[in-house]
Amino acid sequence: MDRIFSGIQPTGTPHLGNYLGAIQNWVNLQEECSSVLYSIMDMHSLTVPKEPAVLRQNILDTTAAILACGVDPKKCLLFQQSLVSEHAQLAWILGCLTNVPRLLRLPQWKTKRASQNNEGTAGLLTYPVLQAADILLYKSTHVPVGEDQVVHLELAQDIAQHFNKKYGEFFPVPKTILSANKIKSLRDPTVKMSKSDPQKLATVSIADSPDEIALKFRKAVTDFTSEVSYDPAARPGVSNLVSIHAAVTGLSIKEVLHQALGLDTAQYKMVVAESVIQKFAPIRSEIKKLQEDKSHLMKVLEDGAEKAKELAAPIYQEIRRLVGFQ
């Protein structure tokens, strides 16, 4: 049986890139597959220093946004990672099968360590092993990921194969479901949109007001050609706008370009802004409504964790037996 697993770090309300690159896909996948797990990865978020009160709020805000976007706990398991202790327990076992040089070669270790004055923690180094545990704990068969996470999924695949070789065929080797939408920064279209971008105009949040969205698109970096065309290599700025427009409206690149005939880039920016505003208006009001009911959000995560634990516990018991703990 196919089982899909994916997770998102609780950084508060997601941005446009998260929505088009991951969450929109999650909503579609819950309709297509009968066993789907989505996790709020609070343990992963500790790899970057966080104030406890901020983390607590971020977990709830991320949950509210995911629900508002259409993820339905009746059609999937939505849960908080740290409430299922088997994630950490399996990560230790898998960490004992993973060599350190492999982890040191991962690009995220190099990048994030550089941003922490080259003093990366053991958690930062080994979090890809925890990611592998997140996936393998449920014997997941498919994992939706962005391009930047493919190397981590390859590690999970290798760990699964290594475990199977040592202890007998047990884990399915998970397959990648690659996200088609790669949304770039509005201020530097050569890098992906990110919440940690120091330029405030670079990233559109799902919760931004219509005025904020319009301003960010108006200031979006393009080039000196006024015509709208799609050529990511030669015209990354305009092409990013076209990609966003297509992803938000559900139209093809060709259809979007046809709509843009006769418009210059300044006019086109406002067309794209308007399509994003319309897409996010109902989501934004639903987020506000959900944020007012913290106990409901906590209950969704706790109920999901209970069901996730029911799936995880027997699999983890079998792992304990295989490795010789019992």
Q: Label residue 80 exposed, middle or buried (CB < 10 Å: 0-12, 13-18, 19+).
A: buried
Nearest to 91 by CA among 118, 116, 122: 122
Residue length of the chain: 326
In order of 44, 146, 148, 156, the CA distances from 102 in angstroms are 19, 21, 17, 12
75, 195, 219, 294: the catalytic one is: 195
* Residues 238 and 186 sit within 8 Å (Cβ to Cβ): no
Active site residue 112: yes
How far apart CA 132 and CA 80 sit, in angstroms, is 16
Is residue 36 classed as helix, strand or coil in its secondary structure?
strand
| Conformational region of residue 250, where left means phi above 0, alpha means psi within -120 to 50, and beta covers everything else | left
Active site residue 195: yes
192, 216, 269, 279: the catalytic one is: 192
75, 112, 294, 309: the catalytic one is: 112
Range 107-133 burial, b when 16+ CB lie within 10 A, else e: ebbeebbeeeeeebeeebbbbbbbbbb
Q: Label residue 258 exposed, middle or buried (CB < 10 Å: 0-12, 13-18, 19+).
A: exposed
Amino acid at 114: A
Active site residue 175: no
Catalogue the E-assigned strands of the chain.
4-8, 36-40, 77-80, 142-145, 175-178
Query: Annotated active-site positions, please?
Result: 112, 192, 195
